[in-house]
Amino acid sequence: MRHTALTRRIAASPLASAAALPTRLTALARHNTQLMRAQATWLVRSREHVHYTYDLKPLNLEHLAWTVSAATGAPVADVRGYLAEVRDDAELRATIEAGLAASPRRATTDRVVRYGRRIGWYAFVRALRPEFVVETGTNRGLGSAVIAAALLRNGHGTLATCDLDDRSGELIRSPYDKVVEHVVADSLAFLAGPVARRHPVDLFVSDTAVSERHEEAELASITPLLAPGAVVLATMAHKWSALPKWAEEQSLAFSYFAERPEQHWYPGLGIGAAYPAKAGS
């Protein structure tokens, strides 16, 4: 906006708030119109009612690459390659599509495979090359399958994952089930049990989203199980302070990646990451 002597005088006067109201209303209406258009499109095209899936905007993917690079020490060019690798993995996509089509919940499921933040989990696994990954909050197993694909690409490593829902894990299909042990249990009981404790944990993914207190309890349970140099990820770090507080207590670094969904009304979640601080940081 080009300012004139008159607009400058108005801006400095008691009339400034009233004069700015039409501009403010226009900006609000434009935003609401865009949001309502995205909502209407979703209502027509999607069948999801919970656990929304979506792709990430191109610039958001670049932010994700830099986040993973900073947390793992992997060159950002390598991380970009990992993100492209999972997006282009035809076998993984076909396997998940088959699982979605066969799901008893297919009436409320979109058949399109959209990974969202989970491709970041894939990149973490590819960069860290862990021997043992633990995940809480399996749900349908979309993230579990993505992690398993990265483990298979690495050529080693296993995943142990849990969920209270006895329908969970339906997308963990062959060949990815070869490196996954799925347990139906409360996450705290799971972390106290033999499956999660059979090896030092190199990467822990907390995706239960029950409550902040529950996440704090998960972090307390996983702490003695972590291998030196382990990385911890949590989905709800945009809402809860459990992970950054825990990271500070453990003298770890913390960062947060916020999703920016492509063509979706939902604002997205993200990835909170706690990891060993680099020398000099």
CATH number for position 257: 3.40.50.150
Asked if 169 contacts 143 with a C-beta cutoff of 8 angstroms, the reply is no
Helices 76-87 and 58-72: crossing angle, nearest 10°? 130
Whole-angstrom distance, CA of residue 69 vs CA of residue 67: 5
> Domain range holding 84?
46-276
Q: Are 188 and 59 part of one and the same domain?
A: yes
Q: Are 127 and 87 part of one and the same domain?
A: yes
Q: Are 9 and 69 part of one and the same domain?
A: no
> Is residue 257 in some structural domain?
yes
- Global confidence as pTM: 0.92
> Is residue 156 in some structural domain?
yes
> Is residue 15 in some structural domain?
yes
What is the pLDDT, as a whole number, of residue 175? 98
List, for residues 235-248, the tens digit of each pLDDT value. Answer: 999 999 999 999 99
What is the pLDDT, as a whole number, of residue 43? 87
Q: Are 23 and 150 part of one and the same domain?
A: no
- Kindly give the parts of the chain with pLDDT less than 50: 279-281
Whole-angstrom distance, CA of residue 138 vs CA of residue 275: 22
Q: Are 13 and 89 part of one and the same domain?
A: no
Smallest CA-to-CA distance from 230 within 204, 199, 198, 193 is with 204
> What is the number of structural domains in the chain?
2
> Is residue 230 in some structural domain?
yes
What is the pLDDT, as a whole number, of residue 48? 92
3-state secondary structure of 5: helix
b (16+ CB within 10 A) / e for 197-232: bebebbbbbbbbbbeeebbbbbbebbeebbeeebbb
**Cβ neighbours around 24 below 10 Å, total:** 10
Alpha helix (H) residue ranges in the chain: 5-11, 16-45, 58-72, 76-87, 90-102, 118-128, 142-154, 187-192, 212-222, 242-249
Q: Are 181 and 60 part of one and the same domain?
A: yes
Q: Are 26 and 150 part of one and the same domain?
A: no
What is the pLDDT, as a whole number, of residue 8? 66
> Is residue 244 in some structural domain?
yes
Q: Are 146 and 23 part of one and the same domain?
A: no
> Is residue 226 in some structural domain?
yes
Q: Are 78 and 24 part of one and the same domain?
A: no
What is the pLDDT, as a whole number, of residue 280? 43
Q: Are 31 and 87 part of one and the same domain?
A: no
> Is residue 281 in some structural domain?
no
Q: Are 12 and 63 part of one and the same domain?
A: no
Q: Are 228 and 90 part of one and the same domain?
A: yes
> Is residue 94 in some structural domain?
yes
Whole-angstrom distance, CA of residue 175 vs CA of residue 99: 13
